[in-house]
């Protein structure tokens, strides 16, 4: 890239579609990096602070697209992106769409096929950090899709700060990482709030439990790395803990929670997987073996009692494009 080309990329006009908390953070980062920014939101009234910082407010999607050389979408879901763009939109000539909307891998691949049919260059992305981190060194964005679109937008996306990683030409790859990582977050939050509920029922103050709970949380980074190596090798030593001991432990938790009338839906679903592994003869194995049990469950008819009855929402700091 020549100096003149780099300068052009670094100052390319950017349009941001969607002004939830994450969309506003993205627009602010582009403004801070010196990009001319145009914003559009389905519901008016969310752009006042951005307008004060120099952003232009488009009164239509058509006008917003015409104003930018790079179009960034950050809406509630992929259906909202389709509805927003599924209208006569002339003038995309060479304007790539970088879709940073949270979604599923299959949705990203469908979106890539749809945009290709419209003649729109497409790059899918997943933001792994909360809105306040955007534009700072701690921001992390994963990107996947056509390489030429990535190359055309790389310098512009750099304004979001931190690390932007290109994962290859499969448009669903970034979303695959996203849902897997959100899986860790969602189930971890479930465990945390359930532990506080159980402790409270036993008369333990929240701050008293937190003293020891943070130590439990500190075990996870090493465990994640160790599990990754065991799963790769297909070897699950039970030298630290076993599935059989986990079966005993989770039974105690369920019994204690039931005594206090606390919902045990999530724990019961986890126990089902553990019990299945024990029944398959894997009780002496390490906990990473449960990954294969979950895969094998796809070939087994799911019983109604195996379903998880309890669902929770993600914490407000979760890295997603907020409701517009």
Residues 6+ apart with CB under 8 A from 198: 253, 256, 257, 260, 262
For residues 7 and 24, state if they share a domain: yes
For residues 148 and 202, state if they share a domain: no
Overall domain count for the chain: 2
For residues 82 and 219, state if they share a domain: no
pLDDT tens for residues 80-100?
A: 999 998 876 667 878 999 999
Last residue of a domain, one of 117, 142, 168: 168
For residues 155 and 9, state if they share a domain: yes
For residues 190 and 118, state if they share a domain: no
pTM of the model: 0.85
Is residue 137's pLDDT more than 90?
Answer: yes
For residues 103 and 197, state if they share a domain: no
Residue-by-residue DSSP string for 65-129: HHH-SEEEE--SSHHHHHHHH-S-----TT--EEE-----HHHHHHHHHHHHHTT--EEEEEE-S
Closest by CA to 85, choosing from 109, 59, 64, 102, is 64
For residues 12 and 103, state if they share a domain: yes
Residue 47's CATH number: 3.40.50.720
pLDDT of residue 306: 39
With bands split at pLDDT 50, 70 and 90, how would you rate the model's confidence at 298? low
Last residue of a domain, one of 113, 148, 168: 168
317, part of any domain = no
For residues 11 and 158, state if they share a domain: yes
Q: Which of 35-49, 143-157, 178-192 has the lowest mean pLDDT?
A: 35-49
Distance CA 48, CA 119 (A): 33
pLDDT tens for residues 158-186?
A: 999 999 999 999 999 999 999 999 999 99
Range of the domain at 157: 3-168
For residues 14 and 86, state if they share a domain: yes
pLDDT of residue 79: 93
For residues 39 and 158, state if they share a domain: yes
324, part of any domain = no
């Amino acid at each position: 890239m020549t100096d003149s080309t780099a300068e052009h990329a670094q100052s390319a006009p950017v349009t941001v579609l969607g002004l939830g908390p994450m969309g506003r953070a993205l627009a602010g980062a582009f403004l801070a990096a010196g990009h001319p920014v145009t914003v559009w939101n389905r519901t008016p009234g969310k752009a006042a602070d951005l307008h004060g910082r120099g952003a232009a407010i488009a009164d239509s999607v058509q006008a917003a697209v015409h104003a930018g050389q790079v179009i960034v979408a950050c809406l509630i879901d992929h259906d909202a992106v389709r509805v927003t763009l599924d209208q006569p939109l002339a003038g995309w000539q060479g304007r790539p769409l970088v879709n940073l909307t949270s979604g599923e891998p299959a949705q990203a691949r469908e979106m890539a096929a749809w945009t290709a049919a419209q003649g729109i260059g497409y790059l899918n992305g997943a933001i792994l950090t909360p809105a306040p981190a955007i534009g700072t060194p701690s921001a992390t964005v994963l990107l996947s899709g056509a390489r030429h679109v990535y190359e055309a937008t790389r310098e512009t996306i750099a304004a979001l700060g931190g690390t932007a990683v290109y994962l290859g030409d499969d448009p669903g790859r970034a979303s695959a990482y996203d849902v897997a990582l959100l899986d860790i977050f969602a189930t971890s939050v479930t465990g945390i709030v359930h532990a506080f509920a159980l402790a409270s029922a036993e008369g333990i103050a929240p701050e008293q439990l937190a003293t020891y709970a943070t130590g439990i949380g500190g075990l996870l980074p090493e465990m994640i790395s160790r599990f990754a190596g065991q799963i790769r090798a297909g070897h699950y030593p039970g030298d630290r803990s076993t599935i059989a001991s986990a079966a005993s432990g989770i039974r105690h938790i369920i019994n204690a929670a039931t005594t206090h009338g606390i919902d045990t839906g999530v724990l019961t679903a986890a126990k089902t997987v553990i019990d299945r592994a024990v029944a398959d003869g894997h009780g002496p194995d390490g906990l990473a073996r449960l990954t294969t049990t979950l895969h094998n469950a796809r070939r087994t008819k799911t019983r109604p009692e195996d379903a998880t009855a309890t669902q929770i929402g993600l914490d407000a700091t979760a890295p997603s494009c907020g409701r517009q």
